[in-house]
Chain A
Amino acid sequence: MERRAYYRNGTLPWLLIAPQLILVLVFFYWPTSQALYWAFTLEQPWGGGNSWVGLSNFLSIFGDGRYWATVGRSAFYAIAATGISMVIALTLAMFADRALKGTKLFQSVFVWPYAIAAPAAGVAFRFIFAPEAGIIGSINEMWPGIWNPATNGGHALAMVIVCHAWLGIGYNFIFFLAALQMLPRSLTEAGAMDGARPFQRMIDLQLPLIAPTVFFLLIMNLISSFTDSFGLIDVMTEGGPINSTEVMVYKLYVDGFKGLDYSGAAAQSIVLMLLVIALTFVQFRWVEKRVHYN
């Protein structure tokens, strides 16, 4: 039973959707078209317009070992941040779902981190992980040099990943909790009658049944760690030390706005965009088709 409203006036509907349309055009399609233009052209050395260079911008970034290093780093970052965030969120959601004391409170408390802007969280985590102060400071006093994200690339990357994961927990938690609460309680009760302990029930019964949600969150988290990591890295490490936290999105910013290599940066952003589009495509094709149990 579909009821449609028809407009007799031809311009009114266009006026009504104009604000949204203008937003999308100005902030998405126009920059994208500019990026495409830059990616396939090169600005002449002394100005005077761009000349068409075909795929040579892409060939040069693909031929660059440092670019592939950022790709690898991005992949590691994405997998680690997604993994940590989802596992912790799932654990918390499991506890909240088991209706332990204070569940109502936790349901809202766990979501709050999601409302914190990445740069703000980045500043906070910089303080938390500062080698010279706080609990880490006293650990460093006992074992000098055991933790210093300012000089150790591994430490710096770990710090950013932990912060990124922490920021995502609230979002993941809400989805996991909603999915778990959609499962009829009698299913876990049947599992309990069948003799399965809580952890086994989680593995055998709950996880397979919330698989669509797990998959959805997996994709969303991966996408977010490819794109949203920029704010965090810019505030916390600026890609350093020695590029050890330079992921794809940060390298394209540095190359474009610091190195003024617009064409190279545009090519990188096209690659990143294709990656995100591919992930979104997988999400739509796979998740939408997955069996939903009723």
Chain B
Amino acid sequence: MTAITLSSVKKRYQKTDVVHGVDVEIESGEFVVILGPSGCGKSTLLRMIAGLEEITSGTIAIGDTVVNNLEPRERGCAMVFQNYALYPHMSVAQNIGYALKVAGMPRAERDAKVLKVAKSVSLEPYLDRKPGELSGGQRQRVAMARAMVREPKVFLFDEPFSNLDAKLRVAMRAEVRSLHRGLGVTSVFVTHDQTEAMTLADRLIIMNAGVVEQVGKPSEVYNRPASLFVADFIGSPAMNLVRGFFADDGYFRHGKGGMIHLPTIAPNLLSKEVSVGVRPENVRRVPAGTKGAINAVVDYIEELGASRLIYADVDGSRIVAVDSANDALGTGMPVHFAFDTADLHVFSNDDGRRLDIATGLAATAALINA
């Protein structure tokens, strides 16, 4: 069953388009994460679902009801705000119970419910405290309890962890995940943090400049990015992307006269302006003199502890590789790389979309110096 349906939803402020026609269906019970850089319209989209922002055109339906003209209170959504937005003059119990009080629930019933929800997020010792007397993580829990107590049809999270420190963020992530497993309520979670997005999401919606770039499971988005933007945005360190074209002599030409031996690429891509991408973790170091290897010069090295990142120059193009060896390597030294063509992504330079190479590629010849 579909829980939320967005059809060609647009948002325009005066003269600027913030969201240009979004079509997404969110299944009931799904945990969907909207991921994108700041200013991409992801929060606006969430706020339109919540009813805090008007929809310029298009429709939003929750369940079978089109909610475009419904007030936030009529939509059955609960929201966790970025800065928690707790009521500072009310105690934790009053904060959690405010929605019930507004709904006119009798006091005894209300108290019982507040207590139950507070227990589920281990807040009962703090019920009488004011938000100002709580730590960041506790405030976050109050915000979640306040959302949960109404038993909403949909949970909306607007970058709820961005004010927490890294350790707490990981803990809260796990907590949200397990809450979702327990309650099974459809959730939409907005973030700009890709780790958060990858770990939480059943499905990801990747947005850029008001447009949905890709919708898919985290693994799909990672393994088959649909556009240059997604390829560059997902993954850390970011994917190596090199602009150039496939020449008919079996070489990919790039940068200042650079050539990479990629003999078996699809004929339909010949001499088109494209970007080829390969993830740093798919770039291997190979010994000097290996046939077909890419010869590069080390720019600098970042030590990560378990591994290191080699930033290298290949005829004017930057290549980053994850390297687990620990031999002495420094700026200006030559390195040699190789990768499987199966790990290669090709994108059009015109519209940034992914170009399918699998069909044109002879799978058997896919390896360079295997």
Contact = CB atoms under 8 A, between A and B. Distances in A.
Contacts of B87: 187, 190-191, 204-205
B184 interface: no
A116 B193 CA distance: 55
Contacts of A191: 87, 98
Interface stretch (B15-23, B75-83, B278-286): B75-83
Interface stretch (A66-74, A162-170, A192-200): A192-200
Interface of A: 184, 186-187, 189-197, 200, 204-205, 208-209, 293-294
8 contacts: A189-B52, A189-B81, A190-B85, A190-B146, A193-B72, A196-B73, A209-B89, A293-B89
B132 A293 contact: yes
Contacts of A197: 73
A195 B149 CA distance: 13
A204 B79 CA distance: 19
Nearest to A293: B88
A192 B102 contact: no
B94 to A, nearest CB: 10
B179 interface: no
A195 B81 contact: no
B102 A196 contact: yes
Contacts of A205: 87
Contacts of B150: 194-195
Q: Which of A186, A187, A195 has the most CB of B within 10 A?
A: A195
B85 A192 contact: no
B368 interface: no
Given A189-B81, A192-B52, A204-B98, A209 B88 contact: yes
A196 B87 CA distance: 13
Contacts of B338: none
A194 B150 CA distance: 8
A2 to B, nearest CB: 28
B160 to A, nearest CB: 12
A193 B77 CA distance: 7
B85 A194 contact: no
B102 A194 contact: yes
A193 B132 contact: no
A186 B82 CA distance: 9
Contact of A186 (B51, B71, B72, B81): B81
Nearest to B71: A192
Contacts of A186: 81-83, 85
Interface residues of B, number: 24
A144 B87 CA distance: 54
A7 B200 CA distance: 64
B1 interface: no
A194 B89 contact: no
Given A186-B82, A293-B132, A193 B50 contact: yes
Contacts of B89: 208-209, 293
B98 A194 contact: yes
B103 interface: yes
Interface in B96-135: 98-99, 102-103, 132
Contact of A184 (B73, B83, B99): B83
Nearest to A209: B89
A193 B85 CA distance: 11
A184 B82 CA distance: 12
A184 B85 contact: yes
Given A187-B85, A193-B50, 7 more contacts: A186-B83, A193-B52, A193-B73, A193-B77, A197-B73, A209-B88, A294-B88
A238 B37 CA distance: 68
A119 to B, nearest CB: 42
B73 A192 contact: yes
B83 A195 contact: no
A293 B73 CA distance: 26
A196 B90 CA distance: 15
B99 A195 contact: yes
Nearest to B149: A194
Nearest to B73: A195
B93 to A, nearest CB: 14
A200 B52 contact: no
Contacts of B52: 189, 192-193
A41 to B, nearest CB: 53
A143 B103 CA distance: 48
B132 A190 contact: no
A195 B85 contact: no
A234 to B, nearest CB: 43
B24 to A, nearest CB: 21
Contacts of A184: 83, 85
A194 B90 CA distance: 14
Contacts of A194: 73, 98-99, 102, 146, 150
A192 B72 contact: yes
Nearest to B72: A192
Contacts of B83: 184, 186
B79 to A, nearest CB: 5
A84 B89 CA distance: 27
Q: Which of A189, A204, A294 has the most CB of B within 10 A?
A: A189
Contacts of A189: 52, 72, 79, 81, 85
B132 A294 contact: yes
Nearest to A205: B87
A294 B77 CA distance: 27
